[in-house]
Structure 1
Amino acid sequence: MYENLIKSKKRVQQHGEVFTPKWMIDLMLDIPGIKHKLEKQEDIDTTFLEPSAGEGFFLVEILKRKLSAIHARDKSWETFALRALASIYAIELLEDNLYIAKQSMFEVVLNERERIFGKRATKSTNFYKAAEFIIEKNIVQGNTLERLNNNGNEIKFSEWKRVKNHPKLVERIPFSYSSLFEEENPQLDLFEVAGQMDLFEEFEEKEIGQSKKYKIVEIDQVWKEEME
């Protein structure tokens, strides 16, 4: 099937925008170190960062694979699905691409939930609100190289830190993209699989830009943004 990999010659010239074809995405996600992390429910929290998201083709495929790995079919499916969403991060420079990427991820998780339970989550449900909120905080506008957004502010994310032995509970910890780097370190990359793929593992003992203290809550309640 034909894939349109560019939107316009002007966008290619101005931004170097060329989308990755589906066959290449599949090939890259089938790299053993990556594929292994996408096939097991117990690895649902493994984090991925896409530094140039485009319309979210990589994000969607990662999310689909993570959701396919969930074998729970009771209410806990929603918890695992939200944890899958919370593990995927991305930065995109162009606003139109950003909107499409967010909407695509949202549709994937809503459609999969509907397939599992036979009913679509409505806007009034905690699952719907939490999924929308997590995507909004994890998929953000910015210039990856400059580490700034269009307003000239630092790119901000949130870690959704699991509470040990409590699969539903998370602690939201805001941090800046810049805090993931040390001066001598190269750019983090989606496919930097040597060693580990957890964005936060190296920073567990550090204060990573924690400017607010949020309550520990069940993951489907994060949209309330309750403070301690």
Structure 2
Amino acid sequence: MQLEFTWHGCDSAPAAPLVLGLARLAAAAQAAGHTGPLTDLAFFFEDPLGAAGGSLTERVNKSLDNRPTQRVPEPIAGIHPSRYRQKETTMITDETEVESWLREFIKTYDGVAGSVHVRQGEGVALAAAVNLPPKVREVTAFVPRGKGMAGLALERGVAVQSCNIQTDDSGDVRPGARAVNAQAAVALPVRDENGDVVAIVGIAFASDRAEFLGAELQRMEDHTRALLDRLQDICQ
């Protein structure tokens, strides 16, 4: 006896998630400053441009071995080149020392979530995050100057606050921020010894607030200066 089975299906449905994944990776590479053929994504294609030959398994293994990197621009405004020299670094989201500092900072002020972004070119890049949903981490991996609370704090050089990010209609809060389980929030500029903004620390709170008082903001900004040594370790 012989049993034959013929299966017919449309491959566009299983291909859709691959296209979305490829688009997201390409967008992340662009935000990190990569140009030209993205050889680390060769496993998406049968005959990839700019990549050496080999089986699919070999190309996948090569991509896994090559962790994403990003270049810290040289020079970065306000940072002396001898202290923050240009180099290839692993993604700064792996900097657990900065995350540890952030957790302690959030705890000190009874917050529920927070982030640290460091200056990179014409914006800030995510260095650490606590209690931020994966989607929020993704969309805030790089924040351009003047966009969202972190970008506005960079542009204005002063703290940017929101009484309630869930209902804020000022335009200062990006829609994706509402995915954070919090209400009041503030983005604090971190300045180096020259007074230039080199990072932005964000902290969010469980309930809404009328306004952060000047003395309270000053205390938090003074606290953020302790982050400078850790940022120096990232960029050296």
| Same structural fold, with TM-score higher than 0.5 when normalized by the shorter chain | no
Task: Identify the structure with the greater strand proportion.
Answer: 2
Structure of higher RCO (CA pairs closer than 8 Å, 6+ residues apart): 1
Using the size of structure 1 for normalisation, the TM-score is 0.31
The structure with the larger Rg is 2
Using the size of structure 2 for normalisation, the TM-score is 0.30
